[in-house]
Amino acid sequence: MPIIPKNMPEQFEVLHNQPEQCIIQGNRIRHPSFIKLQKEAGEILVRYQFSSSGTPELPGHTGPRLSYIAKDQFSSDWNSELHTHSCAELFFILDGHGHFRTLYEEFPISFQDLLIVNANIPHTEVSSLKSPLQYIVLGIEGLKAASPEAGYIMLHLHDGWTELNSCVDLMLQESAKTLPGHEDVCRHLLEVVLIQLGRQQDLSFSGETPGPRASKECELIRRYIDNHFKEDLTLDHLAKLAHLNKYYLSHSFRREFGTSPINYLISRRVEESRFLLRKTDHPLSLIAEILGFSSLSYFSQCFRRVEGISPTEYRKQIRKNS
C-alpha cells in the first residue's frame, strides 16, 4: 500500500488510493509557483510543478512551456501500468536498464537514452530489478515531436549528452530553490534543450518545418530498427511488419535513405558499439551479443567495413588519445 505524505497541504487531495496505486493531485495555487512531492518511503521521487498562475507569460511568447520536472528512481511500489498525460514528456535516462512499453510495442532503454512521448499516448516504463532505472522527466505543454504515427521517438544521445544533462539538472536545481526569476531561467533552459535536440538528425517539433517526408512504410521500418536494433532482425521480418514484399521494401528504403534496411541496421549497431568500446571494458564477444550480432567474427567484419579498422584497434586508439 503506497504511503500518503504526512501533513499533506490542503491544496492536495487523494484521487485514488488502492494497493500499489496512489494518485495525488495538486489544485491550482498562486504560491509557491512549484509544488514539491517527496516519498517518505522507498526511493526518492521529487516533482516540481509550475502553477498555472505563476509568472505571467511574456508578450508574444507562445512556445512550449514547462509544466513539471521530476526525478525518479525505480522502487518496489513503482506502477508500470499504461497511462497518458495531457502534455508531452521528455525522459532523460540517467542510469539503469529497463523497457519502454506502449500499446503496440516494447523496446529496451538504458543510460543516455532520450524518450520523447507526445500528449495522450499510452505508455509506461518497466525497470530491471538488478539495474534500476533512474531518470529525469520534463512535462511540456505545447510540444509535439514529429512522428505522428507512433507518437513517440527514442534517441541514443552519445554526443551532446553532457551538455543536455547539465541543462536539465540546472532546471531541477532552479525548480527546487524557487528563487526570484527561476521560472524565466527554466523557460530559457528549456529553449536551449529543444534547440539542441532539434539539431539531432531527423528530429523536429511542432512549429518547425520538417525535412522531406519519407514514405510511411519506410519511416515505420527505420523507426522500428532504431528501437529494436539490438534484437534479431531480418529483412523478412521487417517486410512483414511493413506489409510489403521484401524486395520492394529494400528498394524503397534505399531510395528514401540511401542505404538498405540491413545496412542501416548494421550502422546502428556499429554506432552503439563505438560507445560501448569507449565507455566500457566489456569484451568484444559480450558487445557482439548485446548488439544482436550472430557472432564475434561477424561483428568484427561489420565494424571494419563501416569504420575501416577492427573493434580492437578502435578501442586502442581511443584509449591512447584519451
- Note the pTM of the prediction, 2 decimals: 0.53
Domain match, 141 and 107 both: yes
Domain match, 180 and 232 both: no
> What CATH number corresponds to the domain at position 225?
1.10.10.60
Residue 64 has pLDDT above 90, yes or no: no
Overall average pLDDT of the 44-52 stretch = 47
pLDDT of 44 reads: 39
Residue 175 lies in a domain: yes
Residue 92 lies in a domain: yes
Start-to-end CA span in the chain (Å) = 50
Residue 207 lies in a domain: no
For residue 18, what pLDDT band results from cuts at 50, 70 and 90?
very low
Q: Which residues is 90 bridged to in the sheet?
A: 116, 138
The C-alpha atoms of residue 214 and residue 320 are separated, in whole angstroms, by: 41
pLDDT of 33 reads: 32
pLDDT of 12 reads: 34
Residue 1 lies in a domain: no
- Domain total for the chain? 2
> What CATH number corresponds to the domain at position 150?
2.60.120.280
Query: Do 2 and 21 touch, CB atoms closer than 8 A?
Result: yes
Domain match, 158 and 273 both: no
Q: Of 102-106, 170-174, 190-194, where does mean pLDDT reach its minimum?
A: 102-106
pLDDT in tens, 71-82: 888 876 676 778
Q: Which of 138, 125, 137 is nearest to 96 (CA)?
A: 125
Q: Of 32-46, 129-143, 177-191, 294-308, where does mean pLDDT reach its minimum?
A: 32-46
Domain match, 230 and 165 both: no
Residue 37 has pLDDT above 60, yes or no: no
Q: What is the dihedral of CA 143, 219, 236, 123, to 10 degrees?
A: 10
Q: What is the dihedral of CA 125, 130, 136, 142, to 10 degrees?
A: -10
Q: Which of 273, 307, 309 is nearest to 291 (CA)?
A: 273
Q: What is the dihedral of CA 245, 256, 145, 235, to 10 degrees?
A: 30
Residue 119 lies in a domain: yes
Range of the domain at 237: 216-321
Domain match, 98 and 136 both: yes
pLDDT in tens, 238-276: 999 888 888 888 888 888 888 899 999 999 999 999 999
Domain match, 72 and 154 both: yes
pLDDT in tens, 147-187: 556 688 888 887 788 889 899 999 999 888 888 888 889 99
pLDDT of 204 reads: 61
Neighbours of 9 (CB within 10 A): 10
Domain match, 16 and 151 both: yes
Q: How long is the chain?
A: 322
Which one has a higher pLDDT value, 133 or 22? 133
pLDDT of 57 reads: 43
Domain match, 106 and 224 both: no
Domain match, 234 and 191 both: no
Residue 229 lies in a domain: yes
For residue 178, give every residue at least 6 positions away whose Cβ sits within 8 Å of its Cβ, in sequence order, or none: 32, 33, 34
* CA-to-CA separations, 15 to 6, 23, 42, 69, 231, in angstroms, rounded: 16, 6, 21, 21, 40
Domain match, 138 and 221 both: no
- In three-state secondary structure terms, 294 is coil
